[in-house]
A and B are shown apart, each in its own frame.
Chain A
Amino acid sequence: AQSVTQLDSQVPVFEEAPVELRCNYSSSVSVYLFWYVQYPNQGLQLLLKYLSGSTLVESINGFEAEFNKSQTSFHLRKPSVHISDTAEYFCAVSEGSNDYKLSFGAGTTVTVRA
């Protein structure tokens, strides 16, 4: 069974500074990897995903994540954050063989300050 660990529960960051959110997973089979974002008082929405191919995936609003199979990690980065990036970020893992189950990490709250 897979598990997902997000190493930081809270990340305060100043506007225009870089941010990295760490995610590690445990699984014995190949996986699909996701980052979801939850803005205040909203549901989750997909930020980006890794299914196969290039290990570096990007979102439309400047986030990127790199799949590292040997380290079983899928860290999320943004080189310059905006106030509007204040949100909670969830890493999630799905095992292709276990069709329905999406396992979520505990979440990382990013607070961007001016």
Chain B
Amino acid sequence: NAGVTQTPKFRVLKTGQSMTLLCAQDMNHEYMYWYRQDPGMGLRLIHYSVGEGTTAKGEVPDGYNVSRLKKQNFLLGLESAAPSQTSVYFCASSYRGGRYEQFFGPGTRLTVL
């Protein structure tokens, strides 16, 4: 099992450009999440999904959109990148919420110039 994979691992964008980050999991998990990690701030939830075809906003959703057309994939889109979106992005998945462990991908390091 590959677990949770993320594509790409690194990306540099110019302000105003768009991109999509892909997350895939092979554990048949219902819940998937996108976080951003910034120094001294821990992980902050951007968007999440509790099942195929569903998405919802987390605590820092502005400037991002997501889609979950297939159960195993969760896409994070930046329509018009800004320097404030420079961060490390982590995808995670879990069987359910609450008591269940979240499994994390290796991260995508994004720099917006």
Contact = CB atoms under 8 A, between A and B. Distances in A.
Contact of A100 (B44, B90, B97, B105): B97
A9 B40 contact: yes
Give the dominant DSSP class at A's interface: strand
B90 A44 contact: yes
Interface residues of A, number: 24
Interface residues of B, number: 26
A106 B41 contact: yes
A43 B6 CA distance: 11
Contact of A94 (B44, B48, B50, B99): B99
Nearest to A97: B98
Contacts of B34: none
Interface of B: 4, 31, 33, 40-45, 48, 50, 56, 58, 90, 92, 96-99, 101-107
